[in-house]
C-alpha cells in the first residue's frame, strides 16, 4: 500500500508538472509568485508583470530593516502572504496554482553578512532550500532567482599589453597600506575590464557565498526536476523606492540618506573603485524576460548597465542633483572586509538570451531619484554601520 500511495502521488506530480510545462510552451504562463515581492526590486517586478497581464502573488516577511510599513505598497489585486521563506507550510500554500516563481527573498548586505552570519545563511540558503523542497510537490514551470555580482569578487583585469591577468584578489597587507588597486606580480598596473559570466567566482564575503549557493541550488534543482531555471546576477541596482534608512542597502541609497540629513557621503578607500549601476526598472524588465525567453533556461546571466562609474564621482553627481553639491564625499581611506575594488558588467549574454537592453542610464536618472528622495524621510544610520564594522575589526 505504501508503494502504491507513493506511486499515485508521484504520477499526480508529474502530470501537474507536464501540464505547467505545456502552459509555458504555449506562452500562457500567467500566475507568478514573487518571494520578497514587497522589497525594492520586488515592487518593480510586480509592477512590470501586472502591466504585461500576469497575475501576481507575493510572499514576504516584511522585516523592519528593509520595509518599514510596506503593506500599503501592495497593488490592488495582488495577494500578499506574510510569512518567512523558511516556513514550508506557508511557502507550499503560496505555490498553489502558480506557474512561475521569481525568487528575490534574501538578506542583503556585504558588511552585515560578515557578522550576522547565521542570519544570512539561514535567510538566503535555508530559505531557498525550503522553497525548492516545496516545489517538488507543488511544481512550477520556471524559476528565476536573483543572484549578485558579488559572487565574482574582483572583476576581470588585463595587463598593460592587453593579456588576461587571471584571477585577482587584493592582499590584506596592501589594503592596510592604502594600496587599493590590484597589481600584477611584477608590480605593474592592471586595467579593469567588463566582467562576463565566464569569469570564475571568487567569494570574498558571506553574502557572496550565500548568493552563489542560492543560484547553484536553483540551477541544480531545475536540472534534476525538469524545471526551467535562470539565475540573474544583478549589479548595483538603484532607483526611487530603495530603503533609505537601511545602511546595508545600495550605495546610492546610502549616499542619498546622508545627503538628505545634511551629511557628506561616507566612502571607503579612496573613492576611485568602480561599479556598474543598473536602474531598477531595467532589472524588473530583465526578470520578466527571464520568465518568458525559453533560451535563458539553465543559464546564469549578468544584469547591469554595461558602464563603469567611480564611486566618488557618483556621490558628487547625486549631491549636485539634490542641490547640495557643497556636501563633498568624506573619503575614509579605510577598507571594509569583503569589499572588492572593481567590478562592472559585460551584458552581451543578456542581450543575446533575453533581448535585454538597458533604457535608464545613471547620469540621466539622478534627477528623478533626487526628486523622490526630497519627499522622503530617512534615518541616517551610516555612522552606526561604520561603528558596528569597526567594533568587529571589519574595517582596516
| Of 55, 137, 147, 15, residue with least CA distance to 88 | 137
- The three grid cell numbers given for residue 146, joined into one nine-digit string: 536573483
The three three-digit cell numbers of residue 166, written as one number:
587571471
What DSSP character marks residue 154?
A: S
Q: Would you say 212 and 203 are in contact if contact means Cβ atoms under 8 Å apart? A: yes
- Cell numbers for 108: 542583503
| Active-site entry in 207, 212, 248, 309 | 207
Helix, strand, or coil (residue 30): coil
Q: Rounded CA gap, 58 and 37, in Å? A: 5
CB atoms within 10 A of CB 394: 18
Distance (Å, whole) CA 326 – CA 28? 53
27 burial (CB, 10 Å; 0-12 / 13-18 / 19+) is exposed
Please confirm, yes or no, whether 207 is among the known catalytic residues: yes
Cell numbers of 317, please?
Answer: 553627481
Task: Tell me the catalytic residues.
Answer: 207
Amino acid at each position: 500500500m505504501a508503494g502504491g500511495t507513493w506511486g499515485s502521488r508521484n504520477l499526480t506530480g508529474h502530470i501537474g508538472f507536464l501540464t505547467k510545462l505545456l502552459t509555458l510552451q504555449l506562452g500562457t504562463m500567467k500566475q507568478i509568485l514573487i518571494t520578497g515581492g514587497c522589497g525594492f526590486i520586488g515592487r518593480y517586478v510586480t509592477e512590470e508583470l501586472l502591466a504585461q497581464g500576469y497575475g501576481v502573488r507575493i510572499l514576504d516577511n516584511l522585516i523592519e530593516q528593509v520595509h518599514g510599513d510596506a503593506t500599503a505598497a501592495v497593488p490592488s489585486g495582488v495577494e500578499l502572504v506574510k510569512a518567512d521563506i523558511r516556513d514550508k507550510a506557508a511557502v507550499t500554500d503560496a505555490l498553489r496554482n502558480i506557474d512561475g516563481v521569481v525568487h528575490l527573498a534574501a538578506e542583503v548586505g556585504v558588511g552585515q553578512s560578515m557578522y550576522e552570519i547565521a542570519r544570512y545563511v539561514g535567510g538566503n540558503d535555508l530559505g531557498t532550500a525550503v522553497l525548492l523542497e516545496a516545489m517538488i510537490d507543488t511544481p512550477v514551470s520556471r524559476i528565476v532567482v536573483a543572484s549578485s555580482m558579488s559572487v565574482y569578487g574582483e572583476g576581470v583585469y588585463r595587463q598593460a599589453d592587453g593579456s588576461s591577468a587571471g584571477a585577482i584578489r587584493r592582499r590584506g597587507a596592501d589594503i592596510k597600506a592604502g594600496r587599493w588597486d590590484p597589481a600584477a606580480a611584477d608590480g605593474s598596473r592592471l586595467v579593469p575590464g567588463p566582467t562576463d559570466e565566464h569569469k570564475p567566482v571568487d567569494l570574498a564575503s558571506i553574502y557572496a557565498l550565500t548568493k552563489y549557493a542560492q543560484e547553484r541550488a536553483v540551477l541544480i534543482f531545475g536540472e534534476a526536476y525538469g524545471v526551467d531555471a535562470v539565475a540573474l546576477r544583478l549589479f548595483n541596482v538603484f532607483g526611487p523606492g530603495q530603503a533609505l534608512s537601511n545602511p546595508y542597502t545600495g550605495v546610492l541609497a546610502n549616499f542619498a540618506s546622508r545627503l538628505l540629513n545634511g551629511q557628506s557621503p561616507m566612502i571607503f578607500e579612496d573613492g576611485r573603485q568602480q561599479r556598474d549601476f543598473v536602474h531598477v526598472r531595467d532589472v524588473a524588465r530583465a526578470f520578466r524576460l527571464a520568465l518568458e525567453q525559453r533560451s535563458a533556461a539553465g543559464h546564469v546571466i549578468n544584469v547591469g548597465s554595461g558602464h563603469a562609474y567611480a564611486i566618488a564621482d557618483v556621490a558628487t553627481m547625486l549631491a549636485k542633483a539634490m542641490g547640495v553639491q557643497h556636501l563633498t564625499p568624506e573619503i575614509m581611506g579605510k577598507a571594509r572586509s569583503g569589499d572588492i575594488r572593481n567590478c562592472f558588467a559585460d551584458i552581451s549574454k543578456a542581450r543575446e538570451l533575453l533581448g535585454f537592453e538597458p533604457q535608464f542610464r545613471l547620469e540621466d536618472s539622478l534627477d528623478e531619484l533626487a526628486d523622490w528622495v526630497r519627499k522622503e524621510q530617512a534615518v541616517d544610520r551610516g555612522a552606526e554601520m561604520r561603528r558596528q564594522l569597526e567594533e568587529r575589526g571589519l574595517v582596516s
